[in-house]
Amino acid sequence: MCGIVGYVGNGETDAIDVLLNGLSSLEYRGYDSTGVAVANGALRVHKREGEFSALESTLPTESLRGDSIGIGHTRWSTHGPPSDANAHPHTDSENRVAVVHNGIVENYQALRDELTAEGVDFESETDTEVIPHLIGQALSAGAAPETAFRRAIDRLEGSYAVAAVFASSDEIYAARQESPLVLGIGDDGYYLASDAPAFIDYTDRVVYLEDGQFARLSPGEFVVTDANGTVVDTTVETLEWDAEDAGKSGYDHYMLKEINEQPTALRQCLRGRVDGLSSTVELAELADLEPSWPVQFVACGTSYHAAMFGAELLRERGVPAQTFLASEYDADRVLVGESTLVVGVTQSGETADTMRALREANRAGARTVAVTNTVGSSAARECDHALYIRAGPEICVAATKTFASQQVALTLLACRLSDASTHDVVQALRDVPDQVQHVLDTSRASEIAAEYVDSDAFFFIGRGHQYPVALEGALKMKEITYRHAEGFAAGELKHGPMALVSEETPVFAVVIGDGERAHKTVSNVKEVEARDAPVVAVTDGQTDVERYADRVLKVPASNDVAGAITANVQLQLVSYWVANELGRSIDKPRHLAKSVTVE
């Protein structure tokens, strides 16, 4: 979602170069307009609707050099459509302060009405614009920049990450509440961003702001304070990845690169956590976590499908587990107590709906675990425990390697929380990275994509561990191709969805293993075949499903858990190649954002 970047330097680096580089690095978050503001005795603000290139092509870059203080923004619309006027930064009426903001100001209408009654003219439809006008009021009353900024923030209700620059100051002021904000500590100055990739080219040393904290960045120092202005101690952490990790490495799209990075990501997730000799699982992060139940998973989107996979694993190992869409989770209506373990699955660790659900669980007295990719994220800090999936940076909006890593991490968690034998699971997991590599090396997904690219719709079916994979396969197809796609529990086809099946609707059937569920799915495939719909079987060959399929995507034979991971890779590749055939914006699909930080 919206992205913030800021820089205060000592004069050796031009702020505009840092801002443009940062905005380019934040494109993956999803956005519909961009803008910058630089300060040097006066504010110069430039902003444009559309992609970053629209701003870059009209920016008087050379005339902005020499300034070492500035802020930039990529906007994802919430209040008001994409337009030049609604793009950030926003200023007060006298152009004394410029503000960028992520999140939602829930009381903005009351503030706007109040300011309008006092004679303030608004130039945009955004909730953000109330902030610079509140600051402007305080400046007119004689307040210093920092005091004016704090007074304005005190008036806000909702979630926000806010940064402001002043014409009269060589400092950036920032504050955070339920929306991520991270400081970068460099040799030539200080950086500010909603996500570290915005400044990873310049420094890998970071400080994560907590809710309710303020930051003041000047050429010579940074100071973090609480809501009362008291200086708080901060910890400088070093990121374990660099700018090269976030490049395309010769691939046409980040998505294809990240699909191909999955063997490495899975090895990283497993490293030091499984003992092949004893077939045991050791999770150092959860060493002091006492197994308890029921287990409740809360998540959104792709992470919700991973959570469904995790809950299924726990249930088959004798642990009661449920999965909730985080946006629908209500601790007052769900049985939550001190014995409940609530697991929030969120690749960014900042997903607003998931964070709200976890906070409700904490207030209800439950123990909480964050399963996340992001060290230092809100989820990691606010939960009792954090289990990192170790996937490395993922730039494409559509999640691929983080889903596979979530599948593996949740498998390890299921082993940790149950008393059932881990031998078969550990042996299967050890082989998964190589099996994924085999799929990548041998997949015929591009051929199948070319054959079915003009289909009316795409259906995906599976049972048990393969049901979440079917849902995820459909989601990937929707996200990056913009074609209609649906995932179903295979047995549900005959209870309504079969009415949609036709010769123009290929059905992707995930059939893994030789158990009862697999054979029942084969029966569902026969029902589809009888209605002349093309069938693509994603299978390890342990059933005779290939006899009834028009095309086959093969995965190595293993067990249901490993098969769910490798089958998912085949479906990722199908979606990618369909989108590629259609010429879609694969890494930045329309209307979507990488990290959804508003409810």
| pLDDT tens digits, 490-543 | 999 889 988 899 999 999 999 999 999 999 999 999 999 989 899 999 999 999
| 87 and 210 assigned to the same domain | yes
> What does the block give as tokens for 577?
């190649």
- Which CATH number is 37's domain given? 3.60.20.10
Distance, CA of 455 to CA of 459 (rounded, Å): 11
Residue 506 located in a structural domain: no
Sheet containing strand 341-346, edge to edge, reads 321-325, 295-299, 341-346, 367-372, 385-388
> What does the block give as tokens for 19?
């801002």
> What does the block give as tokens for 410?
């949740």
3-class SS of residue 263:
helix
> What does the block give as tokens for 422?
């881990």
Residues in CB range of 244: below 8 A, 6 or more apart: none
CA-nearest of 1, 2, 5 to 192 is 5
Whether 439 and 566 have beta carbons less than 8 Å apart is answered as yes
| 189 and 121 assigned to the same domain | yes
Domain boundary among 413, 431, 449: 431
For residue 339, the model assigns a pLDDT of: 92
Contacts 24+ apart (CB under 8 A), 231-236: 234/207, 235/207, 236/185, 236/205, 236/206, 236/207
3-class SS of residue 537:
strand
Distance, CA of 378 to CA of 103 (rounded, Å): 14
| 205 and 277 assigned to the same domain | no
Residue 330 located in a structural domain: yes
Residue 65 located in a structural domain: yes
Distance, CA of 288 to CA of 89 (rounded, Å): 46
Give CA torsion, residues 365, 370, 374, 378, to 10 deg: -20
Count the domains in the chain.
2
| 225 and 309 assigned to the same domain | no
Q: Which residues of the chain have pLDDT under 50?
A: none
> What does the block give as tokens for 325?
């869409």
Sheet containing strand 551-554, edge to edge, reads 485-489, 458-462, 507-511, 535-539, 551-554
How far from chain centre, in Å, is Cα 312? 23
Look up residue 494 and give its amino acid. K
Give me the catalytic one of 2, 269, 383, 396: 2
Contacts 24+ apart (CB under 8 A), 530-535: 531/498, 531/501, 531/502, 532/502, 532/503, 533/459, 533/501, 533/502, 533/503, 533/505, 533/506, 533/507, 534/452, 534/503, 534/505, 534/506, 534/507, 535/506, 535/507, 535/509
- Which CATH number is 352's domain given? 3.40.50.10490
CA-nearest of 403, 402, 426 to 414 is 426
| 251 and 151 assigned to the same domain | no
Backbone angles phi, psi at 527, to 5 degrees: -65, -40
Q: Which residue in this structure is represented by tokens 């998505």? A: 255
Whether 55 and 24 have beta carbons less than 8 Å apart is answered as no
- Crossing angle between the packed helical segments 108-117 and 130-140, to the nearest 10 degrees: 40
Task: Give the strand pairing for 321-325 and 295-299.
Answer: parallel
For residue 249, the model assigns a pLDDT of: 76
Distance, CA of 438 to CA of 214 (rounded, Å): 49
| 197 and 304 assigned to the same domain | no
For residue 598, the model assigns a pLDDT of: 60
For residue 518, the model assigns a pLDDT of: 93
For residue 29, the model assigns a pLDDT of: 64
For residue 150, the model assigns a pLDDT of: 96
Query: Would residue 494 show up in a list of annotated catalytic residues for this protein?
Result: no
Residues in CB range of 458: below 8 A, 6 or more apart: 452, 474, 477, 483, 484, 485, 486, 505, 506, 508
For residue 244, the model assigns a pLDDT of: 57
Residue 465 located in a structural domain: no
| 95 and 224 assigned to the same domain | yes
Distance set, CA 459 to CA 203, 455, 487, 586 (Å): 45, 11, 6, 20
Q: Is 211 exposed, middle or buried (0-12, 13-18, 19+ CB in 10 A)?
A: middle
Residue 546 located in a structural domain: no
Task: Give the strand pairing for 69-75 and 90-91.
Answer: unpaired
| 80 and 191 assigned to the same domain | yes
Residues in CB range of 547: below 8 A, 6 or more apart: none
| 295 and 238 assigned to the same domain | no
Q: Is 318 exposed, middle or buried (0-12, 13-18, 19+ CB in 10 A)?
A: exposed
For residue 595, the model assigns a pLDDT of: 63
Give me the catalytic one of 476, 478, 588, 594: 594
Residue 301 located in a structural domain: yes
| 290 and 374 assigned to the same domain | yes
Task: Give the strand pairing for 551-554 and 507-511.
Answer: unpaired
| 63 and 132 assigned to the same domain | yes
Query: Would residue 2 show up in a list of annotated catalytic residues for this protein?
Result: yes
Distance, CA of 303 to CA of 324 (rounded, Å): 11
CA-nearest of 321, 318, 315, 314 to 294 is 321
| 170 and 296 assigned to the same domain | no
How far from chain centre, in Å, is Cα 232? 29
> What does the block give as tokens for 537?
């079987």
For residue 378, the model assigns a pLDDT of: 87
Distance set, CA 266 to CA 114, 279, 405, 470, 511 (Å): 54, 17, 6, 21, 22
Domain boundary among 431, 452, 482: 431
Distance, CA of 57 to CA of 52 (rounded, Å): 9
Whether 329 and 286 have beta carbons less than 8 Å apart is answered as no
Residue 231: domain span: 3-245
Residue 178 located in a structural domain: yes
Whether 210 and 380 have beta carbons less than 8 Å apart is answered as no
For residue 1, the model assigns a pLDDT of: 58
> What does the block give as tokens for 390?
């170790």
For residue 197, the model assigns a pLDDT of: 83
Domain boundary among 401, 431, 461: 431
Residue 232 located in a structural domain: yes
